[in-house]
Amino acid sequence: MTPQPNPHTDPHAVLRHTDAHAGLHTGGSTSSQAGPHPAPGTPPQPDPDPDTARDLVGIGIGPFNLSLAALAHPLAELDAVFYEQRTAFAWHPGLLIDGARIQVPFLADLVTLADPASPWSFLNYLKARDRLFPFYFAERFHIQRAEYDAYCRWVCENLPGLSFGHQVDAVRFNPERDVFEVDFTQLGPDGEAEALGRTYTRNIVLGIGTEPYVPDPLRPLVEAPAVPVIHAADYLDHRDSLLAAEHVTVIGSGQSGAEVFLDLLRRRPAGREGLHWLGRTEAFAPMEYSKLGLEHFTPDYTRYFHALAEPVRDKLVASQWQLHKGIDADTLAAIHDELYRRTLHGGWPEVVLTPGVRVRTGGRIATTKVELHLEHVHQNTRSRLTTDAVVLATGYRERPLDCLLAGLDPYLRRDSQERPRIDDQYRLVMDPHVTGSGCNVYVQNAGGHTHGIGTPDLGLAAWRSADILNSVTGKETYTLPTRTAFTTFGLQQQEPQIPRARQPKALTPLLDGI
């Protein structure tokens, strides 16, 4: 087989190479009316030397790395850039259902819990849009998902240093220069490759997020398009075809499943709803939302969890599902209210809600229907369900890091299950030659096995980003609280670690007479 040229190194590659630090900022408007900006007339900054290593490169621009970018913005001494393959920011667009709310207070924005005075706060977004007083009178502590998405897009449209349409292809460590090499492809509006580039950096922050999870037995159904079988992540794109189906089955007893079920219920005719909702959990259970229960989403608990032994952590995450996979009580109430409303004139709605059910497998009947093979967990009984469409509200999984970090694999340290080890400052544990040179790879929303159920929680975004920046800068750039919970987790206190300031290498003095 003839070896293929590497477009990042072969001078005869068709695509041209861009400047290593060039970034295409396609976020949108940069009008000074839209948000915080440098003072008018500020001269543009000269491009840095392409061979000079940056302080930080962020890979992926979701809410977590966007939080990091917003908190890094005022740090003039920090040279940082963020790359995102998509051409613009989008936060779960298929689930921005009218009225659906995020399950954390609006204070859990990108910056407030680390820097309440930041110009990138949600309240400042409202002020920039002349919506501060309407929000004040609305008295909403939990905002709609669509509004959170609009807030993040506003930040993207105004925050410098974000390079959308940039696909990161490879990450390597250069031992001769003690830096990471990041190869990327600049994409056009149609997603086609336009140019190639490389940048160097001492620190990388991975914020590649999660991806929709489809159980293996149901993958053949999704891949065959004749009957609508979709993941909830794509719900709004397929809602019309779902409403046209005679019978729809929703699989999944978490918040997404509840929101999809409620939206379909409200839009289907009374007496002909044709809906079946299945869940593996013992009940369509509310999320644990007590004040002390919420303290599991504090830095105090994160530190406690990280210090536990690996087998204990794994068992603990599995047992805490109701802390983060339950359903908002208001959503459950809305579902019951809608069902009850449909009984006012006699009769019951054509709706079946069945928890405690595992979907073993499924197959297609002819070209118009799907047959699901079910098993009840407690009754130990099996049955079959025929339906015209299926929505898989089966959650998300952390995107695997192995493909992106294949070039770093010889340096990575793994646990007993071959997962990357992550230290208390969100750094991948790597060979001392890499970390000893001052180079580190940080991860966002990829440490559920080391940092617990708070890993994907928006409420910890600003704190974690500030913690990462403190580590990168080697000083307490952001002053973080030493205590965040009334609960004392464990008998031995885990004190927060303040990273040591970076020190220049000192020369060893020669001894007298040598």
Question: How far is residue 316's CA from residue 310's CA, in Å, rounded to a whole number?
Answer: 10
The strand ranges marked E within 388-460 are 389-392, 396-398, 440-443
Q: DSSP characters for 333-400?
A: HHHHHHHHHTTTTSS--SEEEE-SEEEEEEEEETTTEEEEEEEETTT--EEEEEESEEEE---EEEPP
In this prediction, residues 334-358 reach a mean pLDDT of 96
Beta bridge partners of 365: 369
Q: What is the mean pLDDT of residues 212-236?
A: 89
CA triple 344-345-351, angle to 5 deg: 70
Among 94, 394, 353, 362, residue whose Cα is nearest residue 227 = 362
- Please report, rounded to a whole number, the percentage of residues in the chain having pLDDT higher than 70: 86
Q: Does residue 505 surpass a pLDDT of 60?
A: no
Closest C-alpha to 391, from 102, 97, 132? 97
* pLDDT exceeds 50 at position 277: yes
pLDDT score of 47: 52
* Beta-sheet strands, E only, within 141-202: 162-164, 166-174, 179-187, 193-201
Burial 240-251 (b: 16+ CB within 10 A, else e): eebeebebbbbb
Nearest to 268 by CA among 278, 257, 276: 276
361 burial via Cβ count (<10 Å: 0-12, 13-18, 19+) = middle
Instruction: Give the pLDDT band of residue 3 (cuts 50, 70, 90).
Output: very low
Cα–Cα distances (Å) from 404 to 87, 234, 445, in that order, read 20, 25, 15
User: Mind listing the pLDDT tens digit for each residue in 476-497?
Assistant: 999 999 999 999 999 976 554 4
Closest CA to 156 of 43, 47, 65: 65
For 458-474, the DSSP string reads GGGHHHHHHHHHHHHHT
* Weakest mean pLDDT among 10-19, 137-146, 317-326: 10-19
Per-residue pLDDT tens digits for 192-206? 999 999 999 999 999
Residues 49, 50, 54, 57, Cα dihedral to 10°: 150
Asked if residues 155 and 148 have their Cβ atoms less than 8 Å apart, the reply is no
What does the pLDDT read at residue 222? 86
Least confident of 45-49, 217-221, 379-383, 396-400: 45-49
- In the prediction, which pLDDT does 48 show? 58
| Nearest in space to 339 (alpha carbons), one of 328, 352, 322, 326 | 352
Q: 314 in helix, strand or coil?
A: helix
Band (367; pLDDT cuts 50, 70, 90)? confident
Q: What is the rounded radius of gyration, in angstroms, for the C-alpha atoms of the chain? A: 25
CA–CA distance, 205 with 467 (Å, rounded to integer): 12
pLDDT at 217: 87
The lowest-confidence range among 248-252, 273-277, 324-328, 457-461 is: 324-328
Q: How confident is the model at residue 333 (pLDDT cuts 50, 70, 90)?
A: very high
Decide: 70 and 461 in contact? Cβ < 8 Å: no
Q: Which of 221, 208, 254 is nearest to 370 (CA)?
A: 221
DSSP per residue, 262-308: HHHHHHSPTT---EEEE-SSSS-PBP---TTGGGGGSHHHHHHHHTS
Q: Please name which of 202, 197, 203 lies closest in space to residue 23, comparing C-alpha atoms.
A: 197
